[in-house]
Amino acid sequence: MFIARVGLGERVAFAVVEGVDAAGIPAADATVEILQSHPFGELVTTGESFPLTDVRLLPPMIPTKIIGIGKNYADHAKEMGGEVPAEPICFLKPTTTLIGTGDVIRIPWQSEHVEHEVELAVVIGRMARNVKPEEALDYVLGYTVANDVSARDIQKRDGQWTRAKGFDTFLPMGPWIATHLDPSRLALKTLVNDDVKQDGSTHDLVFDVPALVAFCSESMTLLPGDIILTGTPAGVSPIVDGDVVQCVIEGIGEIINTVEA
């Protein structure tokens, strides 16, 4: 099942998206079935249905926290000049980084080197505290596509990542949450102006999704809607004014964002 958060004029609602194929591509006649409430319990629709093309796709969740994981693909750790860490490296991104597909990534004046990072984003479905890896997937609502946009010059200069990864618009996410996926072997890609820059698989995660959910839950209680960004594969590259950035994950779909200085 695919669950979106949609804008209908002034109104915002969660909705089930019907008419999306197994690759995550919507049919021309795809629809959204509006939900009465949030998607964490039993899903009850209001009976309202709209063409997908008539609604705005918003970031599919507004979480209480967004936990990023650094250097979680060996090939990316290497391109950043580092080693794979012994345990996951966690950082937080503010919720004000979130934008949806179709929104604009704004390059801040403070940076001259901003890069894309396609990532599988885990959406937590139930409160999780000290869960074990074997049970971790029971606490996951589903998965979505994220771009952990990063100001590389500031990241190096600051010595930690809060500001470099925390600028407004630095987390395009969407287009919806896929609730049915096995996250262990999904192809993920970034294209900039139709050129393939990143082309990886979640099979190459150093710490897999169950390990990350368990690890994070040992430090902080995970609440419904919270997001874990699982890290990015090799191929990160600069994005500049006018670029079109497309992040795609097999079985979920794609987000497309233009870049403005």
Interface residues with Mg ion (CB under 5 A) are 117, 148, 232
Nearer to Mg ion among residue 144 and residue 232 (C-beta): 232
Q: Between 15 and 149, whose beta carbon lies closer to Mg ion?
A: 149
Tokens 């192809």 appear where?
187
Residue 117 or 243 with smaller CB distance to Mg ion: 117
Rounded to 5 degrees, φ, ψ at 28 are -60, -30
CB of 17 to Mg ion, least distance (A): 26
Minimum separation from the CB atom of position 117 to Mg ion (A): 4
CB 200 within 8 A of CB 116: no
> Rounded to whole angstroms, how far apart are CA atoms 125 and 196?
32
Map tokens 């403070």 to a residue.
110
CA dist list (Å): 46 to 14, 15, 141: 11, 10, 21
The CB-of-118 to Mg ion minimum distance in angstroms stands at: 9
Q: Among residues 181 and 188, whose Cβ is nearest to Mg ion?
A: 188
CB neighbourhood size of 250 (10 A):
18
Three-class DSSP category at 138: helix
What does the alpha-carbon distance between residue 109 and residue 141 come to, in Å, rounded to a whole number?
Answer: 37
User: Which residues touch 162 (CB under 8 Å, ≥6 apart)?
Assistant: 91, 92
Record the tokens describing residue 19, joined without a space. Answer: 């008419």
Minimum Å distance from CB 92 to Mg ion?
12
CB of residue 119 vs Mg ion: minimum separation in angstroms? Answer: 6
Residue whose beta carbon is closest to Mg ion: 148
Residue 88 phi, psi (nearest 5): -55, 140
Tell the smallest beta-carbon distance from residue 108 to Mg ion (Å). Answer: 17
Look up residue 26 and give its two tokens.
């919507």
Residue 107's φ and ψ, nearest 5 degrees, are -75, 120
Q: Which is nearer to Mg ion, 148 or 243 (CB)?
A: 148
Pick 224 or 231: Cβ nearer Mg ion: 231
The CB-of-76 to Mg ion minimum distance in angstroms stands at: 8
Question: Between 17 and 206, whose beta carbon lies closer to Mg ion?
Answer: 206
Task: State whether residue 56 is helix, strand or coil.
Answer: strand
